Structure 1
Amino acid sequence: MRFPVKIALLLLWNICTAQDCNKAPPRRATELLTGTWSESVYAEGTRAIYKCRPGYRTLGSIVLECKNGEWTSLYPHRICMRKPCGHPGDINFGSFELLEETEFLFGAKVVYKCNEGYQLVSPFNFRVCEADGWSNDVPFCEVIKCSAVATPENGRIVTSSLDLNQEFTFGQVIQFSCNPGFALNGDRKIHCSTDGDWSAQVPTCEEIICQKPSIQNGNLLSKLKPSYKENERIQYNCASGYKPVERGDAICTERGWTPEISCREVTCDPPSLTNGNVHNLREKYRGDEEIYYQCKTGFYPPSTGNKATCTTEGWSPLPRCNWKPCQYPVIENGELYKPYYQSEDYIQRSFPASIGKEMFYHCNDHFEPVRGTNSYYSYWTKFICTEKGWNPVPKCIRQCSIRSIPNGQFSPREERFNEGEVITVKCNQGYSLKNNKDKIECTKKGWSVVPNCEKLKTCSVFRMKVNNGFFTDSNMYYIINTSANYQCKEGYGTTNGERNGFITCGKNGWLGQATCIKICDIPQFINAKQKGKKTFLKPKERLEYECMDGYEFGRGQTKGFKTCYDDEWPTVVECYEKACSLPILHQMEPNIKKDKYQVGDVLTFRCIRGFKIAGPSSVQCYHFGWSPRLPTCKKEVNCCEQPPEILNGIAKDSKKKVYCHNDVVEYNCDLGFVRRGPKKIQCNDGEWTTLPTCIEEKKRCSGVPELVHGYIQTPDLSYSHGASVEYGCVENFIMVGKKTSTCIHGHWTQPPTCIEQDRLGRCASKIFEDFQVNLNNEFDDIVISYKCNRNSEFKSTKCINGRWSPPPSCSKGKSCAPPPQIPNSQDMNITMNYEDGEKFGVICKENYLLQGQEEIICENGLWNSLPRCIEKIRKCGRPPPINDGDITTFPLPEYVPESRVEYRCQKYYMLQGSRFVTCKNGIWTDPPTCLRIPCGEPPQIHNGIIPKVSKSYEFGEEVTYTCEEGYNIDGLATITCSGGTWSSPPQCKDVRCSRPPRFNNADMVVTSKSYYMPGDKVVYRCLSNFQPEGSTEVICIGPNWKGDPQCKEEIRKCGPPPSIDNGDITTFPLPEYAPESRVEYRCHQFYVSQGSRFVTCKNGIWTDPPICLETCTISERIMRRNNIQLRWKHTEKIYSRPRLHIEFSCIWGYRMAEGSPPFRSICVEGKINYPICE
Structure 2
Amino acid sequence: MHIPTQSCVLYLWMCALTFVKSEECTRDNFISGNLYNSNFDTSKLDATYPLGSQVRVGCSIGFTGFFKLFCTLEGWKSVGSICELRSCGHPGDAPFAEFDLVKGDDFVFGSEILYKCDIGYRMISRSNTRRCVALGWDGVVPTCEPSRCPQIVPQENVQVIGDADEAMYGNVVRFRCRQSSMILDGPEEIYCDENGKWSDKPPTCKELICEEPKIENGRVRDFVSVYRENDIVDYRCNSRYKPVDARPSKCSKVGVGAEWVPKPLCELVKCTLSQPPLRGTTYVRTMKSVFLPDETVTVTCEADFWIGTPETSQQLVHCRNNGNWDILPICNEKRCGRPDEQGVAYPWNRDRRGQTRPLGSVVRYTCGNDYSPTDDRSEATCTGNGWTPNPLCEAKCSPPRGYSSLLQDANRWEWMKKLGHTQTYTCRTGLRKPEGVQRATCTADGWMPNPLCEEITCGTPPAYDRLAAGPRKWTTKPGNTQPYECMSEYKKPEGVQRATCTAYGWIPNPLCEDKCPKPEIENGFAVRASTGIYYYACNENYRPLIDGWWHDVSCNGDEVGGRIRCIGEKKCGQLPVIPHATLEDTANDDYKEEQHIKIMCDRDYKLNTPHITCQAGKWNMGQLLPDEICTPNHTPCGPPPKVDNAVITTAYQTEYLSRTIVTYQCRDDYVMGPKDSLTCKNGDWGENVIHCDKCCQDPNDEALPTTADVEEEGSVTTGTNPDLVHDVSTTSNKEVEHSTSGP
**What TM-score does the superposition give when structure 1 sets the normalisation length?**
0.23
Structure whose residues are more often strand by fraction? 1
Larger radius of gyration: 1
* Relative contact order, higher structure (CA 8 A, sep 6+): 2
Structure whose residues are more often helix by fraction? 2
